[in-house]
Structure 1
Amino acid sequence: MNKKYLLGIANYSNWVDQTVISWLEQINDEQWEKEMPSSFSSIAKTTLHLVSAKRIWIDFWNKEPKPVYLSREFKGSKEELLEIWRKIMADYLRFVTKFPEHEYDSAVSINIGNEVWSMEFSQTVLHHNNHASYHRGQLVTLLRNAGFSDFSNTDLATFYVKINRA
């Protein structure tokens, strides 16, 4: 694993997040809150989970003694959550950018229930990206079911083609 690869993944994650944010800014409050069958029962709840997960990995990487579980605490508006998401995106990229490449295999430990899990830092970045892709896919389905259709392509290949053209 090298820095260029991991930064590519982090930049892709933020690029897709910004695209999803632009979609979410176009929906109304009824669409945002509409209850639908899914892992999280609305666009609002799925988005909160995505933002919370990105935030919690930053806390885990920083070895925060009391990581913030945003999904347990947040009670604000769509606009407030999207603003928090933008800030977390900047924090995420800053952390991955500054993290020393020679420490990519260093252990990151997290508490899951009564267990302690440990993964290499680089694995956690890849896990986060995979996890986010899964839930962004759910958001697409929820958005379609709520009547939104103004999507753009968020595939990894599209990202690489676009940055290679720039």
Structure 2
Amino acid sequence: MNYLEEMVHYHVWASQIIMQRIQELPASVLHQEVNSSFPTLAHALSHMNAVDQMWYLVLTGTSMPEALQICMPRNEETFATIEEYFERYAELSNQYLTWFSQQTDLEQLLLLDNPFAGVRQTRFAEIILHLVNHGTYHRGNISTMLRQLGHASVMNDYSRFWYENSNTSE
């Protein structure tokens, strides 16, 4: 397994860890309002999922403007239960892992037409690193939101992933 694929495995694992923590709490926590980056934990999870879907579409050949048009409405769609988020993440994770199994050149260039930043050449590898970094940032938001709601979060650092998945980089 290459390091970029390992980073996607980390991203999947860390998202599952944070959702498992939410699952341990009263179901109402998912939709409890908090004064933070997102109004609820559900909104944060929906945003992460929508952006992950958008980047998957870009990696598989959809233009970024079209991928945004498809996925950004999902940004505001929240699900009633944490189990529904687990299902969405599992489906998308499987799509990413299948995509990885078919890649021979992660340095492949593509023209990215970002409506917010402009047009630039980028590599698949850069998109993957951004995807993981974006997820890490928002899992941090979720950890802060959990604390604001009176609950502890859970460690989901890359270093914990190393120890729990020590055979992934061999």
Mapping 1:10-89, distance limit 5 Å: 10-64=8-62, 66-67=66-67, 68-69=70-71, 71-72=74-75, 74-78=77-81, 79-89=83-93
Question: In 2, Cα distance between the equivalents of 1:82 and 1:76?
Answer: 11
Residue identity over aligned pairs, in percent, reads: 22
State the partner residue of 2:129. Answer: 126
TM-score, scaled to structure 2: 0.82
CA contact (8 A) 1:61 1:108 kept: no
TM-score, scaled to structure 1: 0.83
Q: Alpha-carbon deviation of 1:29? A: 4.0
State the partner residue of 1:157. Answer: 159
CA contact (8 A) 2:34 2:40 kept: yes
Which letter does structure 2 place at the counterpart of 1:116? V
Paired positions, count: 162
> Where does the alignment leave 5 or more consecutive residues of structure 2 unmatched?
none
State the partner residue of 1:138. Answer: 141
Of 111, 115, 138, the residue aligned with 2:114 is 111
CA contact (8 A) 1:10 1:96 kept: no
Q: Alpha-carbon deviation of 1:17? A: 1.3
CA contact (8 A) 1:107 1:118 kept: yes
Q: Alpha-carbon deviation of 1:117? A: 4.3
Q: Give 3-state SS (helix, strand or coil) of 1:99's partner.
A: coil
Question: In 1, Cα distance between the equivalents of 2:48 and 2:158?
Answer: 18
Relative distance call for 1:13 and 1:127 in structure 2 (3 A) is: same
Relative distance call for 1:118 and 1:112 in structure 2 (3 A) is: farther
CA contact (8 A) 2:107 2:123 kept: yes
CA contact (8 A) 2:42 2:78 kept: no
Question: In 2, Cα distance between the equivalents of 1:141 and 1:77?
Answer: 21
Relative distance call for 1:114 and 1:36 in structure 2 (3 A) is: same
